Amino acid sequence: MRQKVFSTIFLLPVVFLFLASSSRAAERLCDTSFEDCRAPLLALINNETVAIDTAFWFSDDPTFANTLIAAKNRGVQVRVLMDTRAEDAHPQNTQILQQLVNAGIPMRERFATGILHWKMMMFASQGTVEFSGANFTVSEFKPYTPYLNYTDEAIYFSDDPAVVNSFKSKYDDWWIDTVSYRDYNPNPMVPPPTRSWGPAITLNPELNFPPSTIAAHNYGQRAINAINAEKVKLDIDMFRITNAPEADAVINAFKRGVAVRMTVDTAEYRNPARVWDSYNVDRLYMAGIPIKTDNHQGINHEKALLFYGQPGTPLQKMAVFGSSNWSFQSANSQQEHNYFTKTKPWFFQWFVNSFERRWNSTFTNPPEYNPFVPLGPTTPVYKKPLNAATTQPLSLTLTWDGGPWGQRYDVYFGTTSNPPLLASDVITGDPAPPTLETYKVSNLSPGTTYYWRIVGKTMANIIAGGPIWSFTTTTPTTPGPGATVTAVSPNTGPVSGGTILTITGTNFATGATASFGQSTATKTVVVNSTTITATTPSHAAATLNVTVTNKAGDNGTLPGSFTYTSLAPVSTAPKINVVSPNTGSPSGGDTVTITGRNFVSGLTVTFGGVPAVVNSTSRFVIKVTTPGGSGPVAVVVKNPDNQTATGAFNYAAPVGPPSVGSVSPSSGSSAGGTAITIAGSGFVPGDVVSVGGKNATTAIVVNSSTITANTPPNPLGAADVVVTRGCYPSPCPSSTLTAGYTYTTPPPPTITSVSPNTGTVSGGTSISINGANFQYGATVTIGGRPATVQTWTGSYIYATTPTGQSTGSFDVVVTNPDNQSVTLAGGYAYN
């Protein structure tokens, strides 16, 4: 339901678009598997003094709505881009939208073909943007139980001016767009929507904003181009994979030797509304790509790619992160935001840490991720012709429901009660309900009983066979002589069908059909009475008669005129995708799961040539108990026919607890944000750093002896530095460096200039105060009268001048929240 908006948009001084860079420490990524990422976002809303722009697919968290309304009520400009199409799946979104409307917050509704898939907030006075793949719902911003019950998300907070300004400009583009957006009220907004952040700017080239006619903003093609260019290694974390081109690119990269690992979502793999996810994940698995799927409670909703070797000298690393899934819609139809960055090593390494922790799942029980194992289809349900039906036509369509997971079908058809294979791996189109699967047979003999059976198959070649049904054809009046077939060109083609050919003969009539044996051709076109073009259907390998049948019933046949040739035989050799865990004790005795394909009962498994105890075997999964060993060894699976597959395993002593040796620098501002390096030993990806009892932000395990992090704010004085293993269940191993870091009084602010440094005595002039060590919450006075602070960074303050006492020069004073202040004598003149 679209509602009336009672407020109007007011313009902000466009100078605020061009923020100056502040310290890198304000940029951070937040991990929802163990961190409360909702709290810093709420803090940004609560601290904002000028404007908040937000856009979302859905929100069902009243706290976000209440906090935005409170900001609006204290004078902050709030704008909302939204999409009512989310309400079908998320009905509470309707209540949130109504709550915002009732508060008088102006809102614009996307109604274009592609949905609004942005999930972001921008804070003008704080020069910060938050964006991610997370909707504004509690479960996607904070864990219920760390490492056990959570939604996989990464939340990005950035004060990088190139990022913030690009979002401001792009938000304005959408805000005034009348082709894709309309006012979320029955009457036009007064005044009409206008830009808040000045003219459109050149966007940061690392950002990606579909949909667009500009190639750089086509997410799907940009991702595929990067995959095609990758030379070393690719780690992929993707919630939804319903678009084949991205999957094809990954398979091709893997075939050319690029190391690939993937994590996917368990629920999405079997989501009936997203059947092509199963199709693509199975294809990736059968290509041999190592895949793991979430085992924790909650879903894997993240969308991130890690490229370890992009073209350049030297090769470059690139992280891709944002809102786009691998779907046709996310590629360049929906409104999305993504970041393709090669310029922030910390950003890349943070995602490496996150991926490694979840992939290995060494310190969580149950594991956060398990090796992926494909699932089978449902049994086909036949629709027509009905079983034992009589007087059926000599050309008819077999129709069945293969269920959502049947991707290919083998069709068995003939005149014996155990019919032979007629066509294999038939692809019938979209398997999603209510679409039914069909296969047309023709050139049937009159008065004959035929038997048929359908076997459904996934792309992982797991089958489910239906029963055998029968029908009997009618006995029509024998037609007189008519059509003849004299030639077929070309006369060979693959069993998969799809060969375009020409049939020549005589007396072809409009509406004629062509059949190959008893399989009906597709795309049949009667060019004239002597020529037909058609496309071969799929069929088992054989040499067949080609028959043309006119609507009148007359037909002509050219015996043995087309040969279906076999494809290369599918390999029966075993293949290993994942060995999990891939490390273990030198004394042996660890339970290891090996996933892959073509595993046969009676196989053997060796680790470094030493036999393991095989506990269970299925086509896709082997469970073994390791023998003793040392160092890296080959894992060899040998089937009874002596075909083998090889994986890798490393014998190593269990990782010990972390040990903190030193912190550098060992002191810094009580305001937090100091970049520190922790030296020690036993560090692993996922270790958590706290200083003074508060979690540090963006902790990155560089290697086993080094962690980098940014300090949280704390009171003055000494504070303990603690590194804790990210584990479940607790208690988790930790190491404390007592009083390892000292919080000191922040340096006082300094002012170097005010620009412009003159203005009218009536006030209202936008000025920039340049300097250093400005803290959030700093106040400004000119001649003792408070100025309105609009935007703050560590080195710039943007403010609006108050009314002057009189003409002349007056002191400009900046006071930080800790009461340290600086005065620029005569720094501003009223005229």
* 16 has a pLDDT exceeding 60: no
The three-point CA angle 329-331-337 to 5° equals 100
Q: How many CB atoms lie within 10 A of CB 237?
A: 25
pLDDT at 773 over 50: yes
The arithmetic mean of pLDDT across residues 352-368, rounded, is 96
Return all residues near 664 (Cβ < 8 A) that are at least 6 apart: 676, 677, 679
- CATH class, domain 14-183, is alpha beta
Query: 693 pLDDT band (50/70/90 cuts)?
Result: very high
Question: What pTM was computed for the model?
Answer: 0.89
Distance, in Å, from the CA atom of 633 to the CA atom of 605, rounded to the nearest integer, reads: 12
Comparing 7-21, 23-37, 172-186, 192-206, which segment has the lowest mean pLDDT? Answer: 7-21
Q: How far apart are CA 447 and CA 438, in angstroms?
A: 23
Name which of 459, 471, 327 is nearest 399 in CA terms. Answer: 471
Indicate whether 20 pLDDT > 50: no
- Using CA atoms of 49, 55, 56, 57 in order, give the dihedral in degrees to the nearest 10: 160
For 207-333+341-361, CATH gives 3.30.870.10
Output the CA–CA distances (angstroms, integers) from residue 475 to 58, 71, 390, 508, in the order listed. Answer: 61, 81, 10, 23
Q: Report residue 479's pLDDT band, with 50, 70 and 90 as the boundaries.
A: low
Closest to 182 (Cα-Cα) out of 196, 170, 192: 192
Going from N- to C-terminal start, the domains of the chain cover 14-183, 207-333+341-361, 381-473, 484-565, 586-651, 659-744, 750-830
Q: Which of 111-125, 177-191, 360-374, 685-699 has the lowest mean pLDDT?
A: 177-191
* Three-class DSSP category at 320: strand
**At 474, which helix (H) or strand (E)?**
none
Q: State the residue for tokens 């859905």.
A: 58
Is CATH 1.20.1250.20 the right assignment for the domain spanning 586-651? no
Query: Residue by residue, what is the 3-state secondary structure of 51-94?
Result: EEEEEECCECCHHHHHHHHHHHHCCCEEEEEECHHHHHCCCHHH
pLDDT at position 606 is 99
Beta carbons of 312 and 266 less than 8 angstroms apart:
no
For residues 495 and 564, the answer to whether their CB atoms sit within 8 Å is yes
C-alpha 29/C-alpha 351 separation (Å) is: 9
pLDDT in tens, 717-726: 999 999 999 9
Taking residues 256-261, report their average pLDDT.
98
- What does the pLDDT average to over 252-262? 98
What pLDDT sits at residue 511?
94
Q: Is the pLDDT of residue 200 over 90?
A: yes
pLDDT > 70? residue 24: no
What percent of the chain stands above pLDDT 70?
Answer: 96
Pair type for strands 779-782 and 788-792? unpaired
Q: Domain 750-830 class?
A: mainly beta
Rounded CA separation 643/575 (Å) = 10
Task: Answer yes or no: is pLDDT of 509 > 70.
Answer: yes
Q: Do domains 484-565 and 659-744 have the same CATH topology?
A: yes
Average pLDDT over residues 542-554: 93
pLDDT for residue 86: 92
Q: Identify the H or E element spanning 756.
A: none
Q: What is the pLDDT of residue 570?
A: 85
Pick the range with the lowest mean pLDDT from 62-71, 123-132, 787-796.
787-796
Q: How far is CA 632 from the centre of its chain?
A: 33
Classify domain 659-744 by CATH number.
Answer: 2.60.40.10
Instruction: Provide the CATH number for the domain formed by 484-565 in this structure.
Output: 2.60.40.10
Question: In the structure, what pLDDT confidence band is assigned to residue 480 with cuts at 50, 70 and 90?
Answer: low
Q: What's the whole-number mean pLDDT along residues 469-496?
A: 89
Q: How confident is the model over 797-819, as pLDDT tens digits?
A: 988 999 999 999 999 999 998 89
Average pLDDT over residues 158-183: 96
Mean pLDDT score, 683-696: 97
Residue 668, pLDDT > 60, answer yes
Alpha carbon distance 639, 601 (integer Å): 8
The DSSP call for residue 546 is: E
Whole-number Å distance between alpha carbons of 796 and 819? 18
633 pLDDT above the threshold of 90 = yes
- Residue in the structure block whose two tokens are 């609004």: 116
Residue 477 binned pLDDT confidence (cut-offs 50, 70, 90): low
Q: Is the pLDDT of residue 795 over 90?
A: no
pLDDT beyond 60 at 736: yes
Read out DSSP for 371-389?
E-----PPPPEEEESPTTE
Q: What is the 3-state secondary structure (H, E, C) of 165-221?
A: HHHHHHHHHHHHCCCCEEECCCCCCCCCCCCCCCCCCCCCCCEECCCCCCHHHCHHH
386-430 pLDDT, tens per residue? 999 999 999 999 999 999 999 999 999 999 999 999 999 998 877
Is 381-473 a domain of CATH 2.60.40.10? Answer: yes
Written as six digits, the tokens of 406 are 């049947």
Burial of 528 (0-12, 13-18, 19+ CB in 10 A): exposed
What's the whole-number average pLDDT of the chain?
A: 94
CA-based nearest residue to 559, from 541, 540, 546, 542: 546
Q: Which of 746, 747, 757 is nearest to 799 (CA)?
A: 757
- Beta-strand pair 259-264/291-294: parallel
In the structure encoding, which two tokens stand for residue 568, read together?
């290369």
